[in-house]
Structure 1
């Protein structure tokens, strides 16, 4: 279809920088894993099929500078995550083939209006109001797997104003990257440009205006961002 056939100008394709390159990675869909580390209330839990939700591609921003404090929340929370960037289409991908579909990795924040999430959970409503707001997925530059391989272990951590709140290791994930890709691809066809946010360790807590967040995934990426002032609802 030519540009002249669209009745309005097509939206700009969201993208992320590529580490060590002038190129950018085009973002398609953003899939998120609801729980992928054992927290205090689930230490002895049996593994269950992963629960996925989505953020719009427009929620993805560079993990740098100042982040907006969203409206309609009193519990604006951080969640540090390993992000997987898909580089090849696939459906019903086996675990053995899964890593062949990975273009690269990044560190990201699944920012959450947790009070809205808890209210939605209580009555069985969707999580989108809590998860899918503008700027809710700050992500570091994508590190190509061709350059750095596929991490199976390494620290994942986050601090606020110099005080550590979250720390774990990728090897502590309930579901490995290969398993997550395979499980998701049996539900939908994955496409090049898709991102998968693979869950957060315990230690999630609320943020205030002016807080400085530092975090990262060892060998993948690190970031420092500041929370801006609250805007009126």
Structure 2
């Protein structure tokens, strides 16, 4: 009776075992790959913006010796959320009254602090600028209090006129007062409004335009202070 070679060949059981192990390993690898692909992706990190290294600053006249010092009060920003670093925008073509913020864009500091520093730098190119809290020390040295500049940041946002066109809008109110023994004497007040077109309809374009608009506003305020203050 002929032998059943399929049952007695010595290599057949070994080949079957190898095939089974190979199949099992492939299945395990597929399961692992599927599990890895289902893991959540790491969240995207927000881009951080500031006003740049000063390249957008508007040149100011040289400092003249003998100019009276100025006390600069902390900037008030009633139109912004205190301590927030959000980059804000408005959709004027949809609902101009709603303030929105970019999800993946942030300022390096609250806008009020960035604008405060820009304003201080612009003023300091023309005269000595002191924090308002140090004005008393200055008064003891010179016998009188310096004038105080108070500024309010009412608007600091990117305004979209359409889906592809937007402008940076900066609105600031500057008030110059003279401290006296009976209170503060108003020396002048003015509203400054500047718009700058954004080069791109996104956070990168908006922050760049806001930096340029801020440089223009603070330069205008510095010029106004020079025209209002006595030397």
Using the size of structure 1 for normalisation, the TM-score is: 0.24
| Structure with more helix by fraction | 2
Larger radius of gyration: 2
